[in-house]
Structure 1
Amino acid sequence: MQELSSFTLEKADDGEVKMETGKGKCPFEPSQHYTAVMAGGILYTAATSNFLGTLFDISRATGPEQERIRTERSINWLNDPEFVSSAFIEESTDRNPTGDDDKIYFFFTEVAKEYDLYTKVKVPRVARVCKSDVGGMKTLQRRWTTFLKAQLVCEDKPSGQRYNVLTDVFSMQHSPGEASSTHFYGLFTSQWERDELSAVCVFSLSDINKVLNGPFKELKKNCENWINPDPVPSPRPGQCLNTELKAEGFESSLKLPDKVLTFVRDHPLMENSVTAAPLLVRKGTKYTKLAVTLTGIYIFDETYRSCVCVADRGELHRVAVVGQNATLLEERSLFSSQEPVNNILLQQGWALVSSLHSLARVPTEGCSLCTSCETCARASGLGCVWSFKKGECSYTGLE
């Protein structure tokens, strides 16, 4: 363990360095899909929990031992998932009139249990758990009582093309400091396409919560006929504790009735899906990482977005998006050995791009790369403006 203030290893009372097991906090193999996020000093993870990589958990991995809870070992909850990303959304602020709880969102691709086909169909998912969840008293002991998940649909309706494999997610608040303005930019590919293909879809936090607060999907079957869905008990299964529930005597998830916990245990999937049309589609290219900036420039009430996408061969593609129109502004090779990119970090106008052996820093605005008025005009979504007086393309500074 590490003491951040002095950046030294934390020591126990006997002077020895404190050691902590990594089981449940990270995978046994670096090639296994994994994501983690800190929320209030507590680590939340989505990872494999055994050496073979056959067991999967979304868990609260640190904090008091009695509050370290995880998902139920059921294919209804997680079915061979490939974890992609996670995000902590703080909602329990003084401005929140309902006293709602903070939430942690997880993004992954899994095998769909709801599709009974001859082949395994992959579907992208978003799952949500609540920060104050400590499990149930009898049912769902040391398990999430708020775990709900929904399908993400990235589909071009005119062509019917659906992108069903999620590979990366970038979270952004469109209005800084306002959790309700959070949007999630998802990077997708298709299970069914032989050629390389990438698409970017954006999902709002409000749309996700609307689906998670909607009807539950009934997965049970009786012979060949769907049985009548179970009635939804009260209080609503899977919801976070708020002021209203606490006033009714539910100060903790330990106080929830067994019928509520049994229902959410058997119905983690929502009936409706969170749908979006692609902002960007690229054929012949397989993007692996995504980062997005908003320029603050508006045309016809549409905000320009700058997508910094990275191809699997270590190439950076910079794309300007306004409305449903996308323009490729730049292609740049980052590493001489064509290494796959592991991560992108945006920091003060720069994109830090890392691979296993290399690190590159590239400007996010890229205005100086535009040597003509025409190319500078295409880069206006990045905040670039052509100066006829100076004869150059420069950054306006709008953020």
Structure 2
Amino acid sequence: VTSSFGKRRLFREEGVWNYTTMLLREDLNMLILGAREAIFMMVNCIYSPQVYWPVTNKEQKVCSNKGKDAANDCKNYIKILHKRNDDRMYVCGTKAFIPTCDYMVKGKQEDGKGKCPFDPSQRYTSEMVDGVLYSATSMNFRGSEPVMMRSSEESIRTEFASTWLNEPNFIHMAHIREGDSTPEGDDDKIYLFFSETAVEYDSYTKVDVSRIARVCKGDLGGLRTLQRKWTSFLKARLDCPIPNNNLPLLVQDVFHLCPGNWTTCVFYAVFTSQLDSFQYSAVCAYKIEDIQTVFSKGKFKAPVTVETSFVKWVMYSGDVPDPRPGACIDNNARRMGFTSSLDLPDKTLQFIKDKPLMDQAVKASEEKPLLVKRGTAFTRIVVATATALNGTSHQVMFIGTKSGSVLKAVNYDGEMVIMEEIQLFEPSEPVKILRISNTKLYVGSEVGVVQLSISECGRYHKCLDCVLARDPYCGWDLNADKCSTINSTHRTRTSTMIQSLSDGDARRCPQTGICIIPQSLHALCSCRNTKSYI
């Protein structure tokens, strides 16, 4: 059935909720889906084997006795799905506030503390880097010990200090292979996006801010100071400015694209207002080079005690130790005789232990958002690259909302075009996760998963509709007399195709004598299987 995004399929299993963890296995043409007490393997929205991982009656009772809701909180919410180097699937769940991890084919459960959240409603993030899990969550039942951790043989984590992490809301983690092609002999970085209560603002009330932090992949901790703690943990404010907004916007989700090597990486982030009464959402983009400049060359902030008890954070203007605090081990450090973080002097380590916050914020590209929308709360984002008829590349953003819809938008030379917004779930069911493959978009919520095509052009039945949509995936084929997905063949014979992305110029369309107003058809086809269907 044709819809505004092409063929749409909805999947859910009777009695199963919280479809919010996904792993795309494009090598197997498969989506692995984690929900409450269940894992599904899906091909084209038809699921094959499923794994159920419920809590025991005893675990549920213990959880309930600690004051948690037995019917909801004291279940096993699947939160982590990763493929390891050996092709095994690593999975973690909240397990009635006893976070537990396992290999899907082994049945060998292990402690998930610090890897997976205790509380199913708590935001968290993780990344599998060369077979090693990096995670950001809470270490304890109450959620009062936030941590960013590497679960290697010698695990490395953040300090339990408000100067490092202060009531954070973890959002996204990304591994960038900066060590592959850097003349400085630098290391790979793991970037962490989160919001937290600011320590640097003078305010009678708590103010939350958005942050980006980073650590070095090769960090082994310090020898004495910061033993088994990150020696490279640095953080900076993430700025997404909109006019007439006093409180900073808070980051909700991040997606990164690297068209070439790591120096081309761009992070796309969605933000929302802190106050519902002033509801703005925005998309800001951040270049990796701007982020790197703040961390490698920026000034630090330092706490200064004022009037005996009040602590004020100001720009640090004193001497900075060498090697630079928070820097990875690079060629310069090796020339000085420091071959690992275990060799770093206490002066460098003590500096970063006390002052991990940068003074300068990471600015958005062009120092302004790509998109600002009022009255809509953005929740998630993914970005795809579409190659137009003339060979130019365009980043197409798919943005999930709190009201259960997805926006499809693209930026043309500073002009943001929202091609359409499609309602996928009831307004009370927010979009909780987005994943994108070469051809499909997967949208998850509490109640189910929808699969859509990202480039279904056949829904435009007239040339005028096709051209005015300004969809970089689509062009009007004069020979076939239909709207088609642009491919390499079309780009070699552009005279037979019509596409006008910059201004929607449809004058080349065959004259029909009728002015057609583009309309979207919204229909839903069910995803059926032998066990259950919608």
Deviation track 1:153-208 (CA, whole Å, cap 9, x = no partner) reads: 11136x66775211010111132xx1111110000011245143211000011110
Selected match of 1:101 from 169, 183, 187? 187
Selected match of 1:266 from 354, 358, 362? 354
1:279–1:323 contact (8 Å) kept in structure 2: no
Matched, 1:282 2:373: yes
| Worse-superposed segment, 345-354 or 324-333 | 324-333
1:136–1:261 contact (8 Å) kept in structure 2: yes
Selected match of 1:215 from 278, 296, 299? 299
TM-score by length of 2: 0.67
SS at 1:328 equivalent: strand
SS at 1:259 equivalent: helix
2:157 corresponds in structure 1 to 70
1:321–1:381 contact (8 Å) kept in structure 2: no
2:387–2:472 contact (8 Å) kept in structure 1: no
Question: Offset of 1:344 from its aligned partner?
Answer: 1.2
Matched, 1:84 2:171: yes
Q: CA RMSD in A?
A: 2.8
1:380 corresponds in structure 2 to 470
| Worse-superposed segment, 36-45 or 308-317 | 308-317
2:171 corresponds to which letter in structure 1?
V
1:168–1:186 contact (8 Å) kept in structure 2: yes
SS at 1:368 equivalent: coil
Once residues 221 and 470 of structure 2 are traced to their aligned partners in structure 1, the CA distance between those partners, rounded to angstroms, is: 50
Q: Which runs of 4+ in 1 moved over 4 A?
A: 1-11, 159-163, 224-228
Once residues 311 and 87 of structure 1 are traced to their aligned partners in structure 2, the CA distance between those partners, rounded to angstroms, is: 22
Selected match of 1:339 from 410, 429, 453? 429
How many residue pairs get matched?
A: 388
| Percentage of pairs with the same residue | 38
Deviation track 1:57-84 (CA, whole Å, cap 9, x = no partner) reads: 0111x221xx201111111111111000
2:185 corresponds to which letter in structure 1?
G
Question: Offset of 1:275 from its aligned partner?
Answer: 1.2
SS at 2:238 equivalent: strand
1:167 corresponds in structure 2 to 252
1:250 corresponds in structure 2 to 338
Question: Offset of 1:219 from its aligned partner?
Answer: 2.5
Question: Offset of 1:293 from its aligned partner?
Answer: 1.2
1:85–1:169 contact (8 Å) kept in structure 2: yes
Once residues 253 and 239 of structure 2 are traced to their aligned partners in structure 1, the CA distance between those partners, rounded to angstroms, is: 14
CA shift in 2, pair 1:57/1:143, >3 Å: same
Gaps of 5+ in 2: 1-81, 91-101, 492-534
Once residues 353 and 359 of structure 1 are traced to their aligned partners in structure 2, the CA distance between those partners, rounded to angstroms, is: 5
TM-score by length of 1: 0.89
| Worse-superposed segment, 327-336 or 287-296 | 327-336
Selected match of 1:293 from 384, 398, 418? 384
2:211 corresponds to which letter in structure 1?
R
2:445 corresponds in structure 1 to 355
1:318 corresponds to which letter in structure 2?
K
1:149 corresponds to which letter in structure 2?
K
Gaps of 5+ in 1: none
Once residues 21 and 362 of structure 1 are traced to their aligned partners in structure 2, the CA distance between those partners, rounded to angstroms, is: 37
Question: Offset of 1:10 from its aligned partner?
Answer: 6.2
Tell which has more relative contact order, 1 or 2 (C-alpha 8 A, sep 6+).
Answer: 2
Selected match of 2:219 from 133, 146, 149? 133
Once residues 303 and 119 of structure 1 are traced to their aligned partners in structure 2, the CA distance between those partners, rounded to angstroms, is: 45
Once residues 406 and 83 of structure 2 are traced to their aligned partners in structure 1, the CA distance between those partners, rounded to angstroms, is: 34
Deviation track 1:13-56 (CA, whole Å, cap 9, x = no partner) reads: xxx95331011111101101100001111101110111011110
| Worse-superposed segment, 109-118 or 243-252 | 243-252
Once residues 282 and 480 of structure 2 are traced to their aligned partners in structure 1, the CA distance between those partners, rounded to angstroms, is: 38
1:87 corresponds to which letter in structure 2?
A
2:139 corresponds in structure 1 to 49
Question: Offset of 1:222 from its aligned partner?
Answer: 3.6
| Worse-superposed segment, 332-341 or 78-87 | 332-341
Rg larger for: 2
1:165–1:188 contact (8 Å) kept in structure 2: yes
Deviation track 1:237-285 (CA, whole Å, cap 9, x = no partner) reads: 1000112212321111111111100111111111111112111111111
Once residues 315 and 281 of structure 2 are traced to their aligned partners in structure 1, the CA distance between those partners, rounded to angstroms, is: 39
